[in-house]
Amino acid sequence: MYIDIHTHAFHPKIAHKAVDHLNNFYSLTCTGDGTIAHLLERERKAGLDKCVVLCAATAPAQVIPANNYAISLQREHPDQVIAFGTVHPGYEKWEAELERIKAAGIRGIKLHPDFQSFRLDDPRLLPIFEAAQKNFVFEIHIGDQTLPDKNPSCPYKLAAIMRQFPGIRVIAAHFGGYHMWAHSLTALSGGRFENLWFDTSSTTPFATPVLAKKLLNSFPREHILFGTDWPLYDPVEELQRLQKLGRLSDGEMQDIMSNASALLAETHPQVKSHPDH
pLDDT of residue 22: 93
Using an 8 Å Cβ cutoff, are 137 and 263 in contact? yes
Domain spanning 3-265: CATH 3.20.20.140: yes
Using an 8 Å Cβ cutoff, are 248 and 256 in contact? yes
pLDDT of residue 266: 77
* Confidence (pTM): 0.95
pLDDT of residue 213: 96
pLDDT of residue 275: 47
Q: In this structure, which amino acid lies at residue 56?
A: A
pLDDT of residue 276: 53
Low-confidence ranges of the chain (pLDDT < 70): 272-277
pLDDT of residue 277: 54
Closest CA to 97 of 76, 126, 70, 77: 70
Asked if the peptide bond before residue 78 counts as cis, ω within 30 degrees of 0, the response is no
Backbone angles phi, psi at 68, to 5 degrees: -60, -40
pLDDT of residue 184: 97
